[in-house]
Structure 1
Amino acid sequence: MLRAMNVEHPGVRIRPIREEDRHAVLTLAHRLTEGVAEWRDPEAVVEAARQWLAGSLTPEGDRPGAVFVAETDDGVVGVVSVNTHQHFTGTVDAYVGELAVAPHAVRGGVGRQLMAAAETWARRQGVRHLTLETGAANTTARRFYAALGFREEAIRLTRTLDEGNA
């Protein structure tokens, strides 16, 4: 069951994304590469992150889900996207696709406020769970999500296939 996160920090405003946020949001793409497995191509990871974020900038009426930005007097310092996703059991959950916060805004409550916006959106959809994925090696993110009440549900395992272990 979703527990409400009441988090407000002075000077940070959470609002729906707008087209004029494009440049600021795309500069956050590198933040989505933290904790990615070392065998993954870092340039491909950054490009995938840019594509995910660019996809979030489609016009609101054409976009499923919601995208929110965190804004201060210095501009956009964070972004979160949330949508619905069908779990393999058939239930519909809310799913956070991306959460990125500018390095200078980390530990300032921006991530918590963005996640609270995603949770509010999820509650309005009538879903029971808010889910997300992060890199197994991203211990900072894993601790952050655990502090928000998230629990690990699945573990993804990968084996590199090379000539020697066919």
Structure 2
Amino acid sequence: MSTAYESVQIRPVREEDRHAVMELAAQLAEGVAEWRDPEAVVEAARQWLAGFFAPTREQQGAVFVATAEGEVVGMVSVNTHRHFTGPVEAYIGELAVAPHAVRMGLGRRLLSTAEDWARQQGLRHLTLETAAGNTTAQRFYAALGYREEAVRFTRVLEQQPGTGY
């Protein structure tokens, strides 16, 4: 059962949040397809998030954290990308909440902050992806009004003996 926090603050990420944000990235492996390396998923997220802590960062987006009683208990990253039809959209790269802080409305508040950021950029759409096996996240996003737009299929190809591929 989650502990209720007296006050939760959502704010832009700071250098002193680096360790906590990197730890939260471990939550991003939930529901990853069996043929994918969950550690590679987490490491890729950590590499992208690390860019927000670089002194000369070139990132176009933002990372926000949820803090409670001095502890970082959630984070969301939001950036822009161009949809294949042309328009620039906002894109959620990562959304994670500490296991001891789930089901307290933090994910909802973090998404709302990302949506506000997107509106301030003049963007009309906010997109995100989640693992096909992460049904909890899928239900969460659907409950907040996010609609499924595309379905991605992958086939694992077996190596042909003696061909090198």
Unaligned runs of 5+ in 1: 1-8
How big is the shift at 1:57? Answer: 2.6
Match of 1:20 in 2: 16
* TM-score, with length taken from structure 1: 0.88
| Structure 1 segments of 4+ aligned residues over 4 angstroms from their partners | none
Which structure would you say has the larger Rg?
Answer: 2
- Helix, strand or coil at the partner of 2:74: strand
Match of 1:85 in 2: 81
CA distance, structure 2, for counterparts of residue 131 and residue 10 of structure 1: 31
RMSD: 2.0
- Give the alignment of 1:120-139 within 5 angstroms: 120-139=116-135
- Give the alignment of 1:1-166 within 5 angstroms: 11-59=7-55, 62-163=58-159
CA distance, structure 1, for counterparts of residue 29 and residue 46 of structure 2: 10
Unaligned runs of 5+ in 2: none
Contact 1:56 1:81 survives alignment (8 Å): no
How big is the shift at 1:60? Answer: 8.2
Contact 1:81 1:96 survives alignment (8 Å): yes
Contact 2:63 2:77 survives alignment (8 Å): yes
The share of aligned pairs that are identical, in percent, is: 69
CA distance, structure 2, for counterparts of residue 61 and residue 54 of structure 1: 9
Larger RCO, structure (CA 8 Å, separation 6 or more):
1
* TM-score, with length taken from structure 2: 0.89
